Amino acid sequence: MCGIMANIGSENAAREVLAGLKKLEYRGYDSAGVAVFNNALNVFKVKGKVADLEDHVKNQPMAGLVALGHTRWATHGVPAENNAHPHMSENGRLAMVHNGIIENYQSLKNFLIEKGYSFKSDTDSEVLVQYIAWYQDHYQLELTEAVRRSLGDVEGSFAFVILDSTAPNTMVAAKNDNPLVVGISGSGFYLASDVFPLTESCDKVIYLEDQEIITVHLEGDYEVIDFENASITPEVHTLERKDTVYSKEGFDSFMLKEIYEQPEIIARTLKSYVDTNLAEIKIEAIDLHRRIFKQAKRIVIVGCGTSWHAGLIAEYLIESMAGIHVEVEYASEFRYRDPLISTSDIVIGISQSGETADTLAAIKLANERGAFTYGIINTPGSTIARHTDAVSYIKAGVEIGVASTKAFTGQVSLLTLIALKLATITGKLHPLQCKKSIDEFLEVPKMMQEALLTDQLLGDLSQNWVNKESALFLGRGLNFPVALEGALKLKEISYIHAEGYPAAEMKHGPIALVDSEMPVFILATNKSALLKLTSNIQEIKSRKGEVIIIRNAGMEIDAALADYQIEIPAVSEFLTPLTTVVPLQLISYYIAKGRGCNIDQPRNLAKSVTVE
């Protein structure tokens, strides 16, 4: 993971880099560093966040036209100052910031040790910079050529920026399997892990492709070559300029703000994809490829974490509504198991960031095998969006909290529309029924808003669970993936062990965990599962588990069965994931808050997982 930010040409390049790193902190935040060239190369690093780095450098001479920085998520080596980037070559000439994993770092390191090199960190990145330095010294090469030739021996994924202090008017960057964007501004170049930090200062960007190296000069020119030394003319994209000042708008965390944004996001999604006059769903990616969708024999959905949960909901909806066979897989498993993919398959990649390494690799594999690939993405211009045959964007806006909330409901709402749309294409849904479903969907923002009124009640109730060690989330049908999502939220931000299960699976093992100390959250918002679910609740109650039922208004559930019942507004069954997840998000939030956890930046996590 990690965020890379570099600048050449601005009056105070280090200031630009620090500002950019703050926007990249969602990629990792265990340590940070910056190097600035002003007569000599000065490197500053801290264990901690970019704010700690800012504090650390505030009285240091930071002026200079060239700087590069990094915010880290540890892969090789614990979070510590010596493992933070930039890493220097032993001769003090080169400084590098790197994102990715050098898989053959040990053999490169052994080679360098034999040559007499020593290392200050436990990272694979330091091996890479030292290896480039060895090439440079040994063959007397200028930096770009030393980078190009040394990469011939390097295995793994990387995006890096490197600076040679003997030629500080130039920076070099290379990429393979990790993103790197080059922003072009009036005053020079910005090199970053993604476009977020560039939108305020750059009008144009180049998305470096795999196996490409760019050399940017203070004078304003640049060259791109590939690893074979062929010259490349990159596509230069226009960037929409916007000031991206992210504010919590009075909420105490981005996560809570994002939970509250959800009704508006669903309304925006409906506005973007539904023609209410015609009662029609207009999804350009599908309309343009209608024949492919009509003839599809199978849809395979790939994603990770929360996006995978959204995929499971889509499986239930698409199969039942449109009658198309759907499979959902963890992208990390799909990419390595030699899956059977045919040209009549559609492979859908779901990703908030559009940068998740495993999802990207799964999509590339599906492309190679001739499937039609379709991205459901939140981040315009992201790598996955650029590697799919078609893409539809969810309308969640930038999500800052590491725990995904509004992106999940954004994904589920778009996937629900896709299911309805496909059902009209396969002829399983009559236009009149479609209109009825759309009308019901249009009520959801209001219902979500009402579901948010449980906030205070859940804030109070959650104090009961602040000191628990474990929790279970159970649901049937569409609520099973929602249970998984509820458990993931609680784990991520409160560090309480939590599991989501299909309610009926309890008897096959997990019920052994239930005792009076175990809160069990039961999702009872889908009427069709209620009777069966009631028996599952009885089983938990008889083992003294603490039962918390989340149910729709108007649903009768025997008061004796539950310790607490939380009522949310009733919506049609196919829409229940959108409302049911709201109290689960709030419960996780309040429990984490009660435990004093960092809600927006939980330990060990990063928002965007760009390493496998």
> Considering the rule CB under 6 A, would residue 304 count as an interface residue with ligand AGP?
yes
Which residues 401-460 are close enough to bind ligand AGP by CB under 6 A? 402-404
Choices 87-95, 177-185, 305-313, 507-515; region in contact with ligand AGP by CB under 6 A: 305-313
- CB atoms closer than 10 angstroms to residue 13: 27
- For 303, the enclosing helix (H) or strand (E) is strand 298-303
Choices 242-250, 276-284, 397-405, 563-571; region in contact with ligand AGP by CB under 6 A: 397-405
Choices 2-10, 21-29, 147-155, 396-404; region in contact with ligand AGP by CB under 6 A: 396-404
In the complex, minimum distance from the CB of residue 566 to ligand AGP, in angstroms, rounded to a whole number: 22
> Considering the rule CB under 6 A, would residue 305 count as an interface residue with ligand AGP?
yes
In the complex, minimum distance from the CB of residue 591 to ligand AGP, in angstroms, rounded to a whole number: 15
Residue at token pair 């893409």: 391
In the complex, minimum distance from the CB of residue 88 to ligand AGP, in angstroms, rounded to a whole number: 32
Nearest residue to ligand AGP, by Cβ distance, number only? 305
- The answer to whether residues 161 and 172 touch, using CB atoms and an 8 Å cutoff, is yes
Nearest alpha-carbon partner for 209 in 180, 237, 230? 180
Task: Show the binding pattern over residues 334-363: x = contacts ligand AGP (CB under 6 A), - = does not.
Answer: -----------------xxx--x--x----
Choices 145-153, 260-268, 400-408, 536-544; region in contact with ligand AGP by CB under 6 A: 400-408
In the complex, minimum distance from the CB of residue 310 to ligand AGP, in angstroms, rounded to a whole number: 8
Nearest alpha-carbon partner for 473 in 464, 462, 484? 484
- Could you write out the DSSP letters of every residue in 73-135? --SSS-SSGGGSSPEE-TTS-EEEEEEEEETTHHHHHHHHHHTT---SSS-HHHHHHHHHHHH
Task: Spell out the residues 6+ positions from residue 453 whose beta carbon is closer than 8 angstroms to its own.
Answer: none
- Could you write out the DSSP letters of every residue in 146-198? HHHHHHTT--EEEEEEEEETTSTTEEEEEEEBS--EEEEETTEEEEESSSGGG
- For 34, the enclosing helix (H) or strand (E) is strand 31-38
d(CA 401, CA 249): 14
Q: Is 364 a catalytic residue?
A: no
> Considering the rule CB under 6 A, would residue 610 count as an interface residue with ligand AGP?
no
- The answer to whether residues 58 and 50 touch, using CB atoms and an 8 Å cutoff, is no
> Considering the rule CB under 6 A, would residue 201 count as an interface residue with ligand AGP?
no
Q: What is residue 560's DSSP assignment?
A: G
Catalytic residue among 2, 202, 434, 597: 2
163 vs 302 by CB, closer to ligand AGP: 302
28 vs 569 by CB, closer to ligand AGP: 28
Choices 217-225, 250-258, 298-306, 525-533; region in contact with ligand AGP by CB under 6 A: 298-306
404 vs 552 by CB, closer to ligand AGP: 404
CA dist list (Å): 333 to 336, 484, 491: 6, 18, 22
Catalytic residue among 45, 489, 593, 607: 607
Cα end-to-end span (Å), the chain: 9
In the complex, minimum distance from the CB of residue 457 to ligand AGP, in angstroms, rounded to a whole number: 24
- CB atoms closer than 10 angstroms to residue 54: 17
24 vs 403 by CB, closer to ligand AGP: 403
Among 6, 32, 609, 611, interactor with ligand AGP by CB under 6 A: 609
306 vs 373 by CB, closer to ligand AGP: 306
71 vs 307 by CB, closer to ligand AGP: 307
Which residues 464-493 are close enough to bind ligand AGP by CB under 6 A? 488, 492
CB environment 417-456: b (16+ within 10 A), e (fewer): bbbbbbbbbbeebeeeebeebbeebeebbebbbbbbebbe
136 vs 359 by CB, closer to ligand AGP: 359
- The answer to whether residues 407 and 261 touch, using CB atoms and an 8 Å cutoff, is no
22 vs 489 by CB, closer to ligand AGP: 489
Q: Is 2 a catalytic residue?
A: yes
Catalytic residue positions, numbered: 2, 607
Binding site for ligand AGP (CB under 6 A): 304-307, 351-353, 356, 359, 402-404, 488, 492, 608-609
